[in-house]
């Protein structure tokens, strides 16, 4: 990719001005960034309310499925926008993902809790 194409992709990924990729409740967000030469990451995260401790892993697994769908939709939209502005198709190669779940709030007096579920997807861009 040349400088102009990287600039176009950077403008598409930048959500500081214009459209945002989060819902109004701010419990779900998708962020894309250029992280190196010919590399891009898409970070998806959501806040999950846990009703009890026994269902924690099941809720986290459901969240990972939602994050995978959100990443695919976001990447599809980025490719569509790049094709429209850049005049050519953006090719990507999946380099893997890193999932994580963090317990934000849990009390010994209540079964309810809150977790932050995150997944970082890495791509090579061509």
pLDDT tens digits along 26-68: 588 999 999 988 999 999 999 988 887 677 888 888 999 999 9
Q: Which fold has domain 3-15+27-125?
A: Translation Initiation Factor IF3 (3.30.110)
Check residue 25 and give its pLDDT. 54
Check residue 41 and give its pLDDT. 97
- What is the C-alpha separation between 47 and 28, in angstroms, rounded? 7
Q: pLDDT for 79-125, tens place per residue?
A: 999 999 999 999 999 999 999 988 888 777 777 888 899 999 999 99
- What is the C-alpha separation between 44 and 9, in angstroms, rounded? 18
* 61: Cβ contacts below 8 Å, ≥ 6 apart: none
Residue ranges covered by each domain of the chain = 3-15+27-125
Check residue 121 and give its pLDDT. 97
Check residue 21 and give its pLDDT. 54
Element (H, E) at 30: strand 28-36
Q: For the CA atoms of 73, 78, 80, 86, what is the dihedral angle to 10 degrees? A: -170
The pLDDT-based confidence of 17 (bands split at 50, 70, 90) is low
Check residue 78 and give its pLDDT. 95
């Amino acid at each position: 990719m040349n400088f102009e194409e990287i600039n176009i992709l950077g403008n598409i990924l930048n959500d500081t001005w214009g459209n945002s990729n989060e819902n109004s409740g701010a419990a779900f967000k998708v962020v894309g960034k250029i992280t190196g030469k010919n590399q891009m990451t898409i970070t998806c995260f959501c806040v999950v309310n846990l009703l009890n401790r026994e269902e924690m892993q099941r809720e986290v697994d459901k969240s990972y499925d939602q994050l995978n769908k959100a990443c695919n939709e976001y990447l599809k939209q980025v490719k569509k926008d790049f094709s429209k502005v850049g005049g050519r198709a953006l090719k990507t190669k999946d380099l893997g993902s890193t999932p994580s779940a963090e317990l934000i709030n849990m009390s010994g007096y209540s079964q309810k809790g809150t977790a932050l579920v995150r997944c970082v997807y890495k791509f090579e861009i061509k």
